[in-house]
Amino acid sequence: MMALKSFVLTIVIMALVTSISYASDPSPLQDFCVAINDPKSHVMVNGRFCKNPEHVTADDFFTSGLNMPGNSSNQFGVTGVSANINSLPGINTLGISLARIDYPPHALNSFHTNPRASEILVVLEGTLYVGFVTSTSAPNEKNRLFSKILHSGDAFVFPMGLIHFQLCGKD
């Protein structure tokens, strides 16, 4: 009888562990969900109500202002202008985001992660020293730093969930 209880307990624990270890955002059930703040809408996705697809226009997938630099007079000198769900409601549920970040000389965008998305950085002018640190998945594996100096026209990918940074050069 004790062996049966141990067996059942083991199965229950394994079921719980495997059910909570697999997690991701589900695939969308519709082509898009343009976010609105209208509780009369009957569809809610990602905490936002979806605009009726018959009322969606191209403007719901458009934003402007990313050509304007932000105010970099903060302690880090880094400023960002993002195209988020408020300025670009068509981005809701698409699993992407967009931001413009301005770096004055010697500014640091300190170590951070993006737990739900990868990041692609494109340098338009100047130079940036960028990098990310791997996690360890094996007992004898060490963390690795992947870094590069980027110049105008270069791009770099930061994998989802990994610690990464950007440091501006002198220009």
Mean pLDDT of the region 50-62: 92
- Number of H-type helices and E-type strands within the chain: 1, 11
Given a cut of 60, whether residue 88 has pLDDT beyond it is yes
> How long is the chain?
171
Q: What is the mean pLDDT of the chain?
A: 82
Range name among 50-59, 102-111, 156-165 with the lowest pLDDT average: 102-111
Binding site for oxalate: which residues?
Answer: 109, 119
Given a cut of 70, whether residue 5 has pLDDT beyond it is no
Range name among 32-36, 71-75, 76-80 with the lowest pLDDT average: 71-75
For residues 98 and 69, give the distance between their C-alpha atoms in angstroms, rounded to a whole number: 14
Of 61 and 102, the structure prediction assigns the larger pLDDT to 61
Mean pLDDT of the region 50-65: 91
Binding site: which residues?
Answer: 109, 112, 119, 164
Range name among 10-24, 33-47, 122-136 with the lowest pLDDT average: 10-24
Q: Residue ranges per domain, the chain?
A: 29-76+84-98, 103-171
Given a cut of 60, whether residue 22 has pLDDT beyond it is no
Of 114 and 12, the structure prediction assigns the larger pLDDT to 114
pLDDT value at position 37? 84
Given a cut of 70, whether residue 136 has pLDDT beyond it is yes
CATH number of 103-171: 2.60.120.10
Position 92 confidence tier, pLDDT thresholds 50, 70, 90: confident
pLDDT value at position 11? 66
Binding site for Mn(2+): which residues?
Answer: 112, 119, 164
What SS3 state is found at 94? Answer: coil
pLDDT value at position 60? 94
Cβ-proximal residues to 154 (8 Å cutoff; 6+ apart), any chain: 122, 123, 148
